[in-house]
A and B are shown apart, each in its own frame.
Chain A
Amino acid sequence: MKIFRNLYIHYIKNKSMPAKFKDNKENLSKSLKYNLVEIQKILGDSDDIIIREFKIGMNKKEAFLLYIDGLVDKNLIVMDILKPLMLLTEPLVSKEGSLNSLLKESVLTVYNLTETSSMNTAIEDVLSGYIALFIDKTQTAIIIKAKEYKSREIQEAETEAVIRGPRESFTESLRVNTSLIRRKVINPNLRFETYVIGKQTKTKVCLTYIKGICKEEIISEVKKRLEQINTEAILESGYIEAYIEDAPFSPFPTIGNTEKPDKAVGYMLEGKVIILTDGTPVVLSVPHLFIENFQNIEDYYSRPYYATLTRLIRFIAFILTIYLPGFYVGVSTFHPEMIPSPLLMTMAETREGVPFPLLIEALVMLTLFEILREAGVRMPRPIGQAVSIVGALVIGEAAVAAGIVGAPMVIVTALTAISSFIVPSVADIATLLRFAFLLLSGITGLFSLVLGSLFVLVHAVSLRSFGIPYLAPVAPFFLQDMKDFFARFPLWALNNRPASLENYNIKKQDQELNRKRK
C-alpha cells in the first residue's frame, strides 16, 4: 500500500517543484594569482583543463587563458587571442574598465565574446567549451565564445528512411540543428528560445516555433513545463519528453519525435512547437496527434494517388498488427462458425496433434518474435540481419515440423510482424495493444476483444496533447482536416493549415490563384 502512496507523492512533488538556479555571484578578485589558485581548487587536476599563462603586450601585463582541450578552436586561440594580445604594441591604460573594453573593441578579433564578473559563470562557460581570459588587476573575465569539437557529420537518418526526399538528419550539435532549420524557413518570425536544463549536464534545450502561426497558449505551456523540470541530467530528448508529457501512464505518446529537419519544419508550419536538445539528433514536436503517426513526410513528395494508397495501407497494417493474433485466437477457439468451411477444415487438420492451446501458441510465437527482433537490432550489422531472417524461418519451420505450433500460427505471426514495421512510430503502442488484445481474446473470445477495444478507444479519445484533443480531426470532427486524413489530397487543394491545432493565420495558399494557373 505504502509503496503506491509514496510513488504517487514522489511523482507529484517532482512535477510541481520549481527549478532553482544557483546564481552564486562569487566575484573574481583583482589578484590574478588568487583567481588562479581558486580555479585550480574548483576544477582540480584534470588533464584536459589548460591554463595558458602569458603576458600582454609591451607592458607585460600578466594574464592567463582557461580552456578545455578538445572543446575549443585552437586556431582561433593562437591567431586571434594570443597573437594580438602578445604582440600588442600600443601602450595599455591601467584602469580596469577601459582595458577590457579596449581589448574587446580593438584587439581581440573574435566573433563573439562577453564579460562576466562571476567565478561560477566563468567556470561553467569554460566547461561548456568557451575560453576565459583572466587579466591581472581586472575583476571581470572575458569569455570568448568559440567552440569547436568533433561531432558526427550530417548523415542520412537511419530510423526514418525515405525513398524520395532529403536525406539529411539532425546531429548531436545544437548549433548545427538550428542552422538546418534556419536554412529551411526564411522567416523573421522563426524564434529560438534556449533553456538550460539539468543540474549536472546543463543541457541546452531550444524551443523553436514560428510566431504568428503557432498558438500562443501552446508556447507558454511548453515554456512553463520546461521551466518546471527539476532533474539532474538531460541526456536525451526522451528525458524531456518524460517530464513534460500530458499522460505519463498512457500507452499513447502525446509528444512526437523526428530526426529529419524537413519534417520538423513541416510541423512548425502547421503550428507546432519543436524542442531541440543538445546532444541528440532526435527533436520533439508538441502537440502530437495520433493521426501523425500515419502521416509520413514522404507522402507529400509523391503524387496523390500513390500517397493515398500507402496511407490506407498504413491504416490497414496498424489494424492488422493489433488485431490479427487476437482475432485469430478468439475466432478459432470461441467462434468457429465465423470461419468459412473450407478454411476451417484445413485449420482443424493442422491443429491435430498440437499439444498447446492456441492462446499459449500465440503468446509463445509473439514473444519469440519480439526476442528475435530485439536481438537483430542489437547485433553487429552483418550477422544481425542474417540471424533475424534465418532465425525466423528456421524456427518457424522447425516448430511446425515438430508439431509444437500449427502452421497458421506462423503465418499469423509473420503477417503481424511485417505489418508492425510499416508504421514504426506506433510500434510500441502496437506491441502493447497486441498482447493485451491477445490475452483478452483468449479468455472470452471476441466479446472481450471488443470491450478492450472500446476501453482503449475511450482512453485515446479522452487524451489531450497540450490542450489539443488527441484524436483530432476525427474526434472532434474537423471536416477540412479530412483532406489530409485517409486520403492525401493534392497539394494544390490543401489550402489551410490543420484546424485542429488552433493556429492563427490558417490560410497558407490561395486556391484561386492555383486554380487559375491550371
Chain B
Amino acid sequence: MKKIFIVIIIICIILSIGCWDKKELDERAYVMGIGIDLGTENQLKLSTQVVHQNQKAPQEETDTNGLHMDFVLTQECNTLFEASKKFMNFSNRKLFYGHNEVVVFGEEFAKSGIVSSLNWFERQAELRPHTIFLVAKGEAKKILECQSLFEQHSARAMKEAVRSDEITNVVEVTLHSFLGEYASRGSAVMPKIEIATIEGKKTFRIGEFGVFKKDKLVGWLDEKASSGYLLIVNRKNPRVIIVPVPNSKDGKASIELANNNAKIIADYKENSPTITVEIMIDGNLKEQTAPVSIGTPEKLQELNMNFKKAIEEEVETAIGAAQQYKTDVFGFGEALHRKDYTKWNEIKEDWDEIFSNMEVNISVKTEIKHLGMVVTPITPK
C-alpha cells in the first residue's frame, strides 16, 4: 500500500514540474558571433550575428550567392547584458549564445580597454570559454556583416580560419587564454580581422596581430613582425621567405618555413637582464624564379645565408615593434623570472621601460632541408 502511495506521489511531483526550461529548437535564435564597439556617449554597442534559419524566406533576402544572409542585430546600452536584453523587444525568439563562435572587438573599443566587457563573458554560462577573440581594424559591426567566401555563417568561417592548423598564420586566442595572459603577464596579442575585397566581393581577412597592453590595444604588428613573433614564441609559422637566388641577377627563391624551434635564454649580467633568442629553422625550397642550378654545396650555403639574414630581419622587426609599444608580448619577463626570482622582483615594476631599451641578442640557425623534386631546373641548351 505504501509503495503505491509513494509511486503516485512521485508521478504527481514529476507532472507538476511540467516541462520547465523546455524550449523547442525553433523558439531560439542562435547567435554565431558577437561584436563589441563603442557607442554614443560612452555606451557599449553589442552586435550579434544571428542565424537566419527560416526555410521559407523570400528571395530578396539572399545575396548574389544564393545564400540566406544571417543578419546582425545591434543594441546600445551601458552594459552588455542590458544590451542583450534589449533584443527581446524585437524578436519572439530568445537569443541563445551557446553556439557563439567568435567575439570581435572594435578598434575604438579595444583602444579604450576591453576589461569592461570581459566580465559578462566570464559570468554567463552559455558562452563557451573557448570562444575565439578577434580585434577588428575598424568597427566590429561591419565585420560581422561581412559574408564569408565559402561558408553560410561567416562567424564559423572566422573561427575555422583561426583554428585550422594548416592555413592559419595567427595564434588562436580564446577567452580562456586571454584571461590567463591578462592576469599573469599583462600583455597579449590578438589576431586582427579586417574588411577586404577580393574579386569585388566584400569579405573579411584575418591576418596579423594587434598588441594589447593590459587590456588596451596599443598597436598593430605588420606582416614581418607577426612572423617574427610566431618564431619567437615557438609557434607554427607557415610563412614564405623570399630571398635572392645566388648566381642570378634577379632570381627569387621562395622558402617555406618548417620545424621552427626557439629558445629564450635569460641571464643577468652585472645585475642587468639580458635575453638571448636562439632560433633553429628548417626551410623547404619551394620555388625559384630563375632557372639556375643550386646543386653545389657552395650555392646552397649562400642560399642558406640569405635565408638566415631574412629570418634575423624578421625577428628583429618583431622585437623592435614590441619595444616600440613597450609591451613584452614574448614572455621575456617570464624567462627572467624563471632564471632568478629575486632579481626579477627588483626590476618587475619597471619592466616595460627596461624592455623597451633592452638589447636582445638573436642567434639564428637555419638549414635548407628539402629541395623538392629537382636540383637543376630544366633549361634550354
Residues of chain A whose beta carbon lies under 8 Å from any beta carbon of chain B: 4-5, 8, 332-334, 336-337, 341-342, 344-345, 347-349, 351-354, 357-359, 440, 442-445, 448
CA of A124 to CA of B156 in the docked complex: distance in angstroms?
83
* Beyond A352-B53, A352-B54, A444-B19, 14 extra complex contacts between A and B, CB < 8 Å: A4-B1, A332-B24, A333-B19, A333-B23, A333-B25, A334-B21, A341-B101, A345-B30, A348-B25, A348-B51, A358-B24, A443-B17, A444-B20, A444-B21
- The reply to whether B99 and A341 form a contact with Cβ atoms under 8 Å apart is yes
Known contacts: A5-B1, A448-B14. The answer to whether A333 contacts B156 by CB under 8 A is no
CB-CB under 8 A from B1, the residues of chain A are 4-5, 8
7 A-B pairs (CB sep. < 8 Å) = A345-B153, A348-B28, A348-B53, A352-B53, A444-B14, A444-B17, A444-B21
- The reply to whether B56 and A351 form a contact with Cβ atoms under 8 Å apart is no
CA of A334 to CA of B1 in the docked complex: distance in angstroms?
36
Known contacts: A4-B1, A341-B156, A444-B20. The answer to whether A336 contacts B54 by CB under 8 A is no
CA of A352 to CA of B57 in the docked complex: distance in angstroms?
11
The prevalent SS among residues of A at the interface is helix
B interface size (C-beta, 8 A)? 29
CB-CB under 8 A from B24, the residues of chain A are 332-333, 351, 357-358
- The reply to whether A443 and B25 form a contact with Cβ atoms under 8 Å apart is no
Q: Interface readout for B320-348 with A: 1 if CB under 8 Å, 0 if not?
A: 00000000000000000000000000000
CA of A453 to CA of B101 in the docked complex: distance in angstroms?
34
Specify the chain B residue showing the minimal Cβ separation from A442. B19
Specify the chain A residue showing the minimal Cβ separation from B98. A337
Asked if B270 lies at the interface with its beta carbon under 8 angstroms from chain A, I say no
Specify the chain B residue showing the minimal Cβ separation from A440. B14
Q: Interface readout for B18-37 with A: 1 if CB under 8 Å, 0 if not?
A: 11111111101010100000
CA of A384 to CA of B18 in the docked complex: distance in angstroms?
40
- The reply to whether A345 and B56 form a contact with Cβ atoms under 8 Å apart is no
Among B56, B98, B99, B156, the residue within 8 A (CB) of A352 is B56
Among A4, A5, A332, A443, the residue within 8 A (CB) of B19 is A443
CA of A354 to CA of B26 in the docked complex: distance in angstroms?
9
CB-CB under 8 A from B17, the residues of chain A are 443-444
Specify the chain B residue showing the minimal Cβ separation from A347. B25
CA of A138 to CA of B26 in the docked complex: distance in angstroms?
91
Asked if B198 lies at the interface with its beta carbon under 8 angstroms from chain A, I say no
Asked if B126 lies at the interface with its beta carbon under 8 angstroms from chain A, I say yes
For residues 141 through 157 of chain B, which have their beta carbon under 8 Å from a beta carbon of chain A?
Answer: 152-153, 156
Specify the chain B residue showing the minimal Cβ separation from A448. B14
CA of A351 to CA of B18 in the docked complex: distance in angstroms?
22
CB-CB under 8 A from A337, the residues of chain B are 98-99, 126
- The reply to whether B22 and A334 form a contact with Cβ atoms under 8 Å apart is yes
- The reply to whether A336 and B25 form a contact with Cβ atoms under 8 Å apart is yes
CB-CB under 8 A from A445, the residues of chain B are 21-22
CA of A347 to CA of B14 in the docked complex: distance in angstroms?
28
A79 to chain B, nearest CB (A): 65
- Which of B18, B19, B96, B101 has the most chain A CB atoms inside 10 A of its CB? B19
CB-CB under 8 A from A443, the residues of chain B are 14, 17-19
CB-CB under 8 A from B28, the residues of chain A are 336, 348
Specify the chain B residue showing the minimal Cβ separation from A451. B14
Known contacts: A345-B51, A345-B53, A443-B19. The answer to whether A332 contacts B25 by CB under 8 A is yes
CA of A34 to CA of B51 in the docked complex: distance in angstroms?
98
Q: Interface readout for B118-159 with A: 1 if CB under 8 Å, 0 if not?
A: 000000001000000000000000000000000011001000
CA of A90 to CA of B226 in the docked complex: distance in angstroms?
126
CA of A349 to CA of B19 in the docked complex: distance in angstroms?
23
CB-CB under 8 A from A345, the residues of chain B are 30, 51, 53, 152-153
A65 to chain B, nearest CB (A): 59
Known contacts: A5-B1, A337-B99, A337-B126. The answer to whether A344 contacts B30 by CB under 8 A is yes
Asked if B55 lies at the interface with its beta carbon under 8 angstroms from chain A, I say yes
- The reply to whether B51 and A351 form a contact with Cβ atoms under 8 Å apart is no
CB-CB under 8 A from A357, the residues of chain B are 22, 24
Asked if B6 lies at the interface with its beta carbon under 8 angstroms from chain A, I say no
CB-CB under 8 A from A332, the residues of chain B are 24-25
Asked if B374 lies at the interface with its beta carbon under 8 angstroms from chain A, I say no
Asked if B4 lies at the interface with its beta carbon under 8 angstroms from chain A, I say yes
CA of A353 to CA of B27 in the docked complex: distance in angstroms?
11
Q: Interface readout for B72-114 with A: 1 if CB under 8 Å, 0 if not?
A: 0000000000000000000000001011010000000000000
Known contacts: A4-B1, A341-B99. The answer to whether A351 contacts B156 by CB under 8 A is no
A508 to chain B, nearest CB (A): 43
- The reply to whether A351 and B25 form a contact with Cβ atoms under 8 Å apart is yes
- The reply to whether B98 and A349 form a contact with Cβ atoms under 8 Å apart is no
CA of A515 to CA of B56 in the docked complex: distance in angstroms?
70
CA of A442 to CA of B14 in the docked complex: distance in angstroms?
11
B351 to chain A, nearest CB (A): 41
CB-CB under 8 A from A448, the residues of chain B are 14
